[in-house]
Structure 1
Amino acid sequence: MKEKYGIIDIGSNTMRLVIYERNKSGRLKEVENVKAVARLRNYLTEDDVLTEEGIRMLLETLLSFQDITRHHQVQHVKCIATATIRQAKNRKDIIKLVEETTDFQIRVLSGYEEAYYGFLAVVNSTPITEGITIDIGGGSTELTYYKDRQLIEYYSFPFGALSLKQKFIAGNIPTREELSRLSSYIAEQFQSLPWLYNKKVPIIAIGGSARNLVQIHQLLKKYPLAGLHQYEMSFNDIVEVRRLLTSLTFEQIQKLEGLSKDRADIIIPAVEVFKILYQTVNATSFVLSRKGLRDGIFYEEFFGTPIFPNVLEESFFELAEDYDINLDNVRHVNKLLIQLVEQIRYLDLYSLTNEDIRDLKRAAYVFYLGQYIDEESSSQHTFYILANRTIDGLMHKERLKLALIASYKNKTVFKQYIEPFQNWFTRDEQKKLRFLGALLKFAYSLNETKRNIVRAVHLEKKNNAVIMHIFCHGNWKAEEYQTEKNKKHLEKVLKRTIDLRFYSTD
């Protein structure tokens, strides 16, 4: 049996059980995700005591989770609790009762731990090296500031979307006056942290409210790419969603696509928090991280170092394992690519930036990985997988670039793939992507039989042609056939004929 691990997150608004199992790359893959809207915060009295009714709700939910963990035979289950249990004066009694009644032992996280694990999740799953993180729960809001991927500041506010709603909003949705008072309060709270002011860095948001905000915005825009993780929004985007929400009745909000029905009454307070934080920080963007508290705990627990040296390398390692990528082939093709790129630059055949070369190397790693599914339609599968799979460390536009280069087949197919994303790239950028794809495809044809027989490539510019001298160790017939077939894609972009000449080094 595969090793399985469970984690129960007892939040103020929702409780969640997530079960993971180790995949063949050694990474933890989510196999079950069960949510219960317990709203424990509603059972916390003004004296900070969790009522009998609240304790009953907690135990009933944990026992329903227990049925699932026993069914899956999960031996290792972590059970963590955040703001509501942390703030409850009777938490010792609650912890004891849970231990006596269920299979679980509750670990109550401090405000610092909650903030730290959120930070860990963000730095290990996004390419952002400096930013402000926010995790708004039902009963608390954690903020951190990190730089060079190191935690610098943190703070846990004793308010969340649910407690703000309780304190400021009488009905299901705020009146104009209630929203104004709520805004003033949030602004005042954020101004108490000097390290937040005018930082001019991205805000990375964690949690259900941020996820719902992004889902609503993607549906508004008819966003053509799959995935929420690392999705970027501007201040105006947040204001646009806020404007929509405040224009609707509660019944209309409940039916809104992209919004969980159980968040209908707390989404406006949450969006107000994001809006005011954006203004306070004078942020450069608002980014969603699908990875949060639970992931942060696992990063600390299961990996040798809590902060990965390189997020994208980890993602590519997973892709290599999941799709049986031949790394020896990748290394050899990359060596040939570098030779081609250096000479293309030296001969001034085509303008290539360092960013282009970085994109080429990334795409070389995953070129035609769709072969794993089907050889005949490997280009289509490659594009679909890379464009729609979350790749930690790559923002959405970078992920699309990777998909377009690594799946390159010909100009016609490229145009089909890029059609929904026309406004993402200028005409010149599209032409550049086609060239990078054609060059990568050509480099792979130089190692068609995966024997690493091509040792060196030397380019020579002659009149309106390029002579390519290819030095081989062994019989090159298969490589010659594929390169002759694929050189036309390069010729079209370079507007030059390419004369291929093969030589033996034996």
Structure 2
Amino acid sequence: MEQEKYAIIDIGSNTIRLVIYTRDKSGRFTESENVKAVARLRNYLNEDNVLKQEGIDVLIKTLKSFQEVTRHHQLKDIKCVATAAVRQAVNQDSILAAVEKETDFTMRILSEFEEANYGYLAVVNSTPFASGITVDIGGGSTEVTYFHNRQLIFFYSFPFGALSLKQQFVEGNTPTKGELRELRSFLKEQFDQLEWLADKRLPLIGIGGSARNMAQIHQEHIEYPLSGVHQYMMSRDDVEEVSDLLKSVDFSELQRLEGLSKDRADIIIPAVEVFRYLMELIDTKQFALSRKGLRDGVFYEETTKDFDLSVFPNVVEESFHELAIDYDINLTHAFHVANSALLISKELEELGLLSLEELDYKRLKLSSALYNLGSYIDSESSHQHTFYLLGNRTIDGLLHKDRIVIALMASFKNKEVFKRNVNVYEEWFNKEELAKYSLLGAIIKLAYSLNATKRDIVETIELEENEDKLVFSVQCREDWKPEQYQVEKQKKHLEKQLKKTIDFKFYK
């Protein structure tokens, strides 16, 4: 069966990209091809803002090479969008005509609002942030937005980017101390104009290649144990550390620095200066990286236009449904396991044996629904596969730490396996947190046993404390012997953690 495909060409001031999305079995489009060309169109804009013929030739040559790919994949629906370098060109009509005449593509020039809005859409549809400041620094422009309760409030597009900042302030490959002072003074003067930025104390969310490279450099520098940069968090000190690292090496070393694309070596320092000053202005200690950006925003708008729903109601729920389809999760069974885990937890809370916050309940619900996910690969080593799959898959709406918490709870087998899994990430958590996640893992394992036959027979769960013994009364609507057998076998994990004997009474 022929797969449905969709493509976007993003003509930036520094790079031009072709991204092809293919619809997978869950019905969502996933990135299947990503072709990049470093065209640096911004360098061909003269003082009168005319894109010189040499630059137009580079653009056409690049698009023709992309055309070979799109023709090979027999793509018809191709969005071709251009940003600052073409937007700022006074001869944009002749550029549009040349693209139309010499290639298969019709180029659309994005307005400043469209470029900012697409970045905002990408962030709210793929990260957990309800409010924040986004910054998308390209080669020739920088878009900043402020969103609150997942709604765009303010936006602004500055006519400078990493490439134009380098051209304007840095004569060599890397800035001198004097050039850095001038650059910082300029950035302060520009960003201070936006009154809605100051002292917002919200996360700064970076979009685009320079932000991604900064995150990758930091991950390599600290030997980060997880793969993937989407939703990666850095503190202000982390950003300063990367800034100091970049300025401590000569250009040849900079080009070989792990995590940094060689073609960004000469523009990464001006870009990091933008992030540094914005964090100071906003007065935030949190920098988050969104790997989803303009192309994804265009894509979200296009694929949801029939539903009038460009902002997803709940990012994590969208991600869960994708996981459910990818790994054949039985949704009815998952719902009942989650419900049983919530009932048990609330009963333990009433007896003062457990104390949970709203976030804990959200994590418990999701982990319960994903419990034993790894059986999709192999039932015998399901717990091991569950931890690996959840720990190493980017899950939109979950920060990296949250992802590991979900992976630990959803893969709980026993306390020893839990300790082995958490070993690499131990410094991320304190002892109280680990004790809580281990206990919740044992609760989920017990809840899973209560639906061992996937008949969803449990209707109510009540708990009472009798001296040092906990007695669970479980009402079922059908014969419960298979569930009783599994519960008696698995209850020891909860007994060890609560340091109490547990009895189960089943009745109709």
TM-score using structure 2 length: 0.98
| CA spacing shift, 1:207–1:322, aligned 2, 3 Å | same
The match for 2:295 is 294
The match for 2:398 is 394
How far does the alpha carbon of each residue in 1:11-41 deviate from its partner, in whole angstroms, 9 at most, with x for none?
Answer: 0000000000112222111100000001111
The answer as to 2:345 corresponding to 1:344 is no
1:350/1:494 contact within 8 Å kept: no
The answer as to 2:454 corresponding to 1:450 is yes
Identity %: 58
* Residue identity opposite 2:476 in structure 1: C
The answer as to 2:497 corresponding to 1:482 is no
The match for 1:497 is 501
Post-superposition shift, 1:130?
1.1
Q: How does 1:266-277 map to 2 (within 5 A)?
A: 266-277=267-278
The match for 1:330 is 334
1:347/1:461 contact within 8 Å kept: yes
Post-superposition shift, 1:426?
1.0
The match for 2:103 is 102
Q: 2:385 aligns with which of 364, 381, 387?
A: 381
The match for 1:257 is 258
Q: How does 1:85-234 map to 2 (within 5 A)?
A: 85-234=86-235
* Residue identity opposite 2:382 in structure 1: S
Matches of 2:201 and 2:102 in 1, distance apart?
A: 49
How far does the alpha carbon of each residue in 1:116-139 deviate from its partner, in whole angstroms, 9 at most, with x for none?
Answer: 100111111111111111000000
Unaligned runs of 5+ in 2: none
The match for 2:411 is 407
The answer as to 2:437 corresponding to 1:433 is yes
* Residue identity opposite 2:460 in structure 1: A
The match for 2:373 is 369
Matches of 2:299 and 2:484 in 1, distance apart?
A: 49
Post-superposition shift, 1:461?
1.1
Matches of 1:343 and 1:412 in 2, distance apart?
A: 26
Q: How does 1:41-60 map to 2 (within 5 A)?
A: 41-60=42-61
Matches of 2:81 and 2:281 in 1, distance apart?
A: 31
The match for 1:313 is 317
* Residue identity opposite 1:468 in structure 2: F
Matches of 2:33 and 2:460 in 1, distance apart?
A: 50
How far does the alpha carbon of each residue in 1:77-102 deviate from its partner, in whole angstroms, 9 at most, with x for none?
Answer: 00000000111111111111111111
2:337/2:369 contact within 8 Å kept: no
* Residue identity opposite 1:185 in structure 2: F
Give the match's secondary structure for 1:194: coil
Post-superposition shift, 1:216?
0.5
Matches of 1:277 and 1:34 in 2, distance apart?
A: 31
Matches of 1:158 and 1:428 in 2, distance apart?
A: 49
Matches of 1:345 and 1:79 in 2, distance apart?
A: 55
Give the match's secondary structure for 1:458: strand
Give the match's secondary structure for 1:33: strand
Post-superposition shift, 1:390?
1.0
* Residue identity opposite 2:183 in structure 1: L
* Residue identity opposite 1:275 in structure 2: R
Unaligned runs of 5+ in 1: none
RMSD over aligned CA atoms reads 1.1
Give the match's secondary structure for 1:501: strand
* Residue identity opposite 2:288 in structure 1: V
Post-superposition shift, 1:67?
0.4
The match for 2:75 is 74
Aligned structure 1 segments of 4 or more residues deviating by more than 3 angstroms: none
Matches of 2:504 and 2:231 in 1, distance apart?
A: 43
* Residue identity opposite 1:212 in structure 2: N
Post-superposition shift, 1:481?
1.8
1:139/1:159 contact within 8 Å kept: yes
* Residue identity opposite 2:450 in structure 1: L
Post-superposition shift, 1:353?
3.1
Post-superposition shift, 1:109?
0.3
Give the match's secondary structure for 1:394: coil
Post-superposition shift, 1:411?
0.9
Matches of 2:118 and 2:412 in 1, distance apart?
A: 39
Q: Bigger CA drift: 349-358 or 219-228?
A: 349-358
* Residue identity opposite 1:400 in structure 2: I
How far does the alpha carbon of each residue in 1:305-344 deviate from its partner, in whole angstroms, 9 at most, with x for none?
Answer: 0111111111111111111111101122222223212211
The match for 1:2 is 3
Post-superposition shift, 1:49?
1.0
* Residue identity opposite 2:352 in structure 1: D
Matches of 2:177 and 2:298 in 1, distance apart?
A: 40
Matches of 2:78 and 2:359 in 1, distance apart?
A: 44
Give the match's secondary structure for 2:182: helix
The answer as to 2:422 corresponding to 1:418 is yes
Q: Bigger CA drift: 22-31 or 345-354?
A: 345-354
Give the match's secondary structure for 1:195: coil
The match for 1:39 is 40
2:345/2:354 contact within 8 Å kept: no
Matches of 1:351 and 1:153 in 2, distance apart?
A: 40
Matches of 1:356 and 1:272 in 2, distance apart?
A: 37
Matches of 1:183 and 1:288 in 2, distance apart?
A: 22
* Residue identity opposite 1:486 in structure 2: Q
Give the match's secondary structure for 2:196: helix
Post-superposition shift, 1:5?
0.4
Post-superposition shift, 1:10?
0.4
Post-superposition shift, 1:112?
0.9
How far does the alpha carbon of each residue in 1:174-195 deviate from its partner, in whole angstroms, 9 at most, with x for none?
Answer: 1110111011101110011111
How far does the alpha carbon of each residue in 1:286-311 deviate from its partner, in whole angstroms, 9 at most, with x for none?
Answer: 11001100110111111120111111
Matches of 2:356 and 2:47 in 1, distance apart?
A: 64
Matches of 1:118 and 1:353 in 2, distance apart?
A: 32
Post-superposition shift, 1:473?
2.9
Q: Bigger CA drift: 423-432 or 210-219?
A: 423-432
* Residue identity opposite 2:90 in structure 1: K
1:121/1:296 contact within 8 Å kept: yes
Post-superposition shift, 1:251?
0.0
The match for 1:468 is 472
Matches of 1:62 and 1:92 in 2, distance apart?
A: 17
Matches of 1:443 and 1:148 in 2, distance apart?
A: 34
